[in-house]
Amino acid sequence: MNNKYAIANIQNSLGITGMLFEDEYRFTKKMVADFYEVDERTIERYIEQFADELSANGYILCKGKRLKDLKLQFGHVINVGSKTTQLGLFNFRAFLNIGVYYD
């Protein structure tokens, strides 16, 4: 997980692009759940259990101006309500990290 070239090759091989936001591909909880074919609640449990590790690998809570910018750019893709005040986003490394927990 520390080799950025290997991660880029894995991402290309899987054909997963996500949303290019702030120079990094980002994925919503729904995108991750759909890929792993699990319920979003499963991803939520992983976030709760492994918050520190996921954060260290690139999981962020997008808030404020960043969230507003994300909604303007990808509102049609992510389908979040106008009253949403924060949104969890995975980078590809954190996205792969979820696969470690999934049986």
Count Cβ atoms within 10 A of the Cβ of residue 101 and give its class: 0-12 exposed, 13-18 middle, 19 or more buried: middle
Beta pairing partners, 88: 61
The pLDDT of residue 80 is: 78
How many helices (H) and strands (E) the chain has is answered by 6, 4
pLDDT 10s digits, 34-87: 999 999 999 999 999 999 999 999 999 999 999 999 998 998 888 777 788 899
Comparing 52 with 100, the larger pLDDT belongs to 52
